[in-house]
Structure 1
Amino acid sequence: MLTAVSAQAASAQHLPPAPEWLKGHIGEGDGQIAPTVFERARALYFSKVAEGKVKNPCYFAMDATRPNDLTDGKAGGRFYTICEASQTFSVISSGHGSGRKLPGVVDFSNDRACARNFGNALDSNLTAGGAYLTSEIKTSFKGYYRTGSGGQALLTRSFVQFDGVGETANARQRAIGGHAAALVSGICMQKKPESPYANRDGYVPLGKLVNYAGGRSDGCTSWSPAEAPMVLSTVKDNPTTVYIYPESRDIAAMSKALASGRPGSHAGVYWNSDCLKEIGTPRFWNKETLEPLIAQYKKDHPAPPPKPVPICDPQMN
């Protein structure tokens, strides 16, 4: 399998030049895609087209060095859909992996705005940069929630599986993919035997709808509920490539540049300047280092037995 590095090298000589209409979207300003991210995403896409694995006219990229939660309360744009044939370019928000804090062991957690920690370990909840292909889409029922008008609605959420390449090859094992940043929380069980989602006793989960588009994920790529259908419809029965920046080599290069006292731009390494000021030095946690720590922590801190979900107060229905 080709890594993002070898894909770029193998296909660089065969890439058609970037079309003129697209060049205005390339840059480090708001709503633009950084040149490094664009070049790698495009090289990955055309390499998979050449291999016959992709026929989709569009491809995706994500720049996880950009901020997600902006100071004005809006989510930052850093997930890109590029369709060269139809001359369309769009940018939407996307969450990054929250990471975890294991008290007394290790802290690899991330704040809402900018990601400092990246990695490919199981149960790490970290974003792993690199090359992916979209695969099957599965839709699951998440529960009912109360609406503003006093009624109820249900949430189903579609998840598109990513298959990784190279360092991201364990994406399926990690259940890494893309979905809407929405869930139902604070659940109780409501008697609703007429529902097709009722359990054998006639109960369904009922809670509060939470939109966490400006927040973090478990390592998946999460889009706002309003924008997710557009992304999912693009890849339904028609796989394409997803390139997520930064890879471990980029993080290592940036760490080396910072340690030597050189700005990353002078060392030829790209990172969003606002996030770099906030996070200091980024870090990649490889699975060989992190998975044993997580496994030992889980062994030392076994999860308590699950508690039964409470029955809803009938007066709240």
Structure 2
Amino acid sequence: MRSRSVLLICGVFTIAIALSAAPRSFATQQSSDVPAWLRTRVGEGEGQIAEVVLQRARTLYQQKVNQGAVKNPCFFSMDATRPNDLGGGKLGRRFYVICESERSFRAISAGHGAGRDLKGVADFANGRRCAKNFGNAMDSTLTTGGAYVTGETKTSFKGYYRISAKQDAVLVRSFVQFDGEGETANARQREIGGHPAELLRNVCLRKDPRSPYANHDGYVPFGTLEDYTGGRSNGCTSWSPSDAGQIIAMVKDNPTTLYIYPDAADIEAVARAVAAGRSLSSVGLYWNASCLNEIRAPKFWPKETLEPVLAQYKKDHPAPAQQPTPICKER
């Protein structure tokens, strides 16, 4: 199994660590340095964190703390091999908030990248429940596993929506920029980050010159609020609005680390093992069993091969001219 190193860069600090020199080594390494209270959270059951995911997340966090790049007492991780939608209205908990100094561990839901189906060219779309396709290409809307550090938080006005017969509310959504490293280094260019899973649908423009958000003609966007917690994203990490509020508050002006599993080396190793008919445990690899049974084998789409395909598809299928936002009909 080939050795791969990921270069971690933050400010003026640079250090190389082997995040996936051999996936087996992470699956079998001893966890004696993991506090006893946290070891009880390790496992592959619902609400638990797989050992390889925890080990890599802790390694990344400790490296950044030692560099002086991170002072936040908490760090994050995500296991994108776990199911997102468990059925019956239940969501899979696969995003982890770990604060060791406080002996705090939370497992919450998070969406994965939807991918795209370029009809007749390439299909790298993901279902709602399990992610099969991963990648780091621009415009792919795929999740990329690997190392990230949270960056600045941007807050933007999205519009108004109705909450009762006589009352409207404002949707102001915050977005936490992620800065990636190695295969995730283009996270900023891809506008990859974390945000609440909510948006406005069926938007029109309503006359409201008294609104502080009104445009120069006195109009504001107005739509229907959609909460897509448990759905898919454009490659970003989406949380429920309530969870997002807590997470965003934790990292505002206080960056921390996020490790998303799996990275490209894991995906390639698992795909090879599946193709050879070998069980993952026999070769020290990890993937959520339920999702692996569903997707059969994962695939990583590197930007070097997928971006030219996406560019040609865009050239061959130009988007229709954008229509102006309609004026709302009188209520």
- Normalising by structure 1, report the TM-score: 0.95
Q: Is the 1:8–1:44 contact (alpha carbons within 8 Å) kept by the matching residues of 2?
A: no
Quickly say closer, same or farther: Cα 1:149–1:227, change in 2 above 3 A: farther
Question: Aligned residue for 1:87?
Answer: 103
Instruction: Give the residue type in structure 2 aligned to 1:292.
Output: P
Question: Aligned residue for 2:18?
Answer: 6
Q: Deviations over 1:85-119 (max 9, x none)?
A: 01100011000000001112111000000000000
Which of 79, 82, 86 is residue 70 of structure 1 equivalent to? Answer: 86
SS, match of residue 217 in structure 1:
coil
Give the whole-Å Cα distance in 1 for the aligned partners of 2:215 and 2:152: 26
Give the whole-Å Cα distance in 2 for the aligned partners of 1:239 and 1:77: 23
Q: Is the 1:132–1:241 contact (alpha carbons within 8 Å) kept by the matching residues of 2?
A: yes
Q: Is the 1:254–1:282 contact (alpha carbons within 8 Å) kept by the matching residues of 2?
A: yes
Q: Is the 2:20–2:266 contact (alpha carbons within 8 Å) kept by the matching residues of 1?
A: no
Give the whole-Å Cα distance in 1 for the aligned partners of 2:96 and 2:260: 10
Give the whole-Å Cα distance in 1 for the aligned partners of 2:50 and 2:273: 19
Q: Is the 1:119–1:287 contact (alpha carbons within 8 Å) kept by the matching residues of 2?
A: yes
Give the whole-Å Cα distance in 2 for the aligned partners of 1:16 and 1:258: 31
Give the whole-Å Cα distance in 1 for the aligned partners of 2:20 and 2:182: 14
Is residue 258 from structure 1 mapped to residue 270 from structure 2 by the alignment? no
Q: Deviations over 1:13-54 (max 9, x none)?
A: 9x9811111111111111000000000000000011111101
Is residue 118 from structure 1 mapped to residue 134 from structure 2 by the alignment? yes
Q: Is the 1:182–1:211 contact (alpha carbons within 8 Å) kept by the matching residues of 2?
A: yes
Question: Aligned residue for 2:119?
Answer: 103
The offset of 1:6, in angstroms, is 2.3
Which of 187, 193, 211 is residue 209 of structure 2 equivalent to? Answer: 193
Question: Aligned residue for 1:144?
Answer: 160
Question: Aligned residue for 1:305?
Answer: 321
Give the whole-Å Cα distance in 1 for the aligned partners of 2:74 and 2:247: 10
Q: Deviations over 1:133-184 (max 9, x none)?
A: 0010000011111114442111011000000010000000100000000001
Question: Aligned residue for 2:192?
Answer: 176
Question: Aligned residue for 1:157?
Answer: 173
Give the whole-Å Cα distance in 2 for the aligned partners of 1:278 and 1:313: 46
Gaps (5+ residues) in structure 2? Answer: 1-6, 9-14
Question: Aligned residue for 2:292?
Answer: 276
RMSD: 1.7
Quickly say closer, same or farther: Cα 1:136–1:89, change in 2 above 3 A: same
Quickly say closer, same or farther: Cα 1:34–1:73, change in 2 above 3 A: same
Give the whole-Å Cα distance in 1 for the aligned partners of 2:243 and 2:219: 31
Q: Is the 2:20–2:265 contact (alpha carbons within 8 Å) kept by the matching residues of 1?
A: no
Matching of residues 213-252 of structure 1 within 5 Å: 213-252=229-268
SS, match of residue 97 in structure 1:
coil
Instruction: Give the residue type in structure 2 aligned to 1:193.
Output: P
- Normalising by structure 2, report the TM-score: 0.91
Give the whole-Å Cα distance in 1 for the aligned partners of 2:199 and 2:282: 43
SS, match of residue 138 in structure 1:
strand
Q: Is the 1:7–1:47 contact (alpha carbons within 8 Å) kept by the matching residues of 2?
A: no
Gaps (5+ residues) in structure 1? Answer: none
Quickly say closer, same or farther: Cα 1:203–1:86, change in 2 above 3 A: same
Q: Is the 2:178–2:192 contact (alpha carbons within 8 Å) kept by the matching residues of 1?
A: yes
Give the whole-Å Cα distance in 2 for the aligned partners of 1:4 and 1:238: 23
Is residue 46 from structure 1 mapped to residue 62 from structure 2 by the alignment? yes
Give the whole-Å Cα distance in 2 for the aligned partners of 1:218 and 1:5: 29
Give the whole-Å Cα distance in 2 for the aligned partners of 1:140 and 1:131: 26
Give the whole-Å Cα distance in 1 for the aligned partners of 2:145 and 2:160: 34
Instruction: Give the residue type in structure 2 aligned to 1:93.
Output: S
Quickly say closer, same or farther: Cα 1:264–1:149, change in 2 above 3 A: farther
Is residue 210 from structure 1 mapped to residue 226 from structure 2 by the alignment? yes
The offset of 1:263, in angstroms, is 1.7
Question: Aligned residue for 1:134?
Answer: 150
Q: Is the 2:130–2:291 contact (alpha carbons within 8 Å) kept by the matching residues of 1?
A: yes
Give the whole-Å Cα distance in 2 for the aligned partners of 1:212 and 1:108: 21
Quickly say closer, same or farther: Cα 1:69–1:150, change in 2 above 3 A: farther
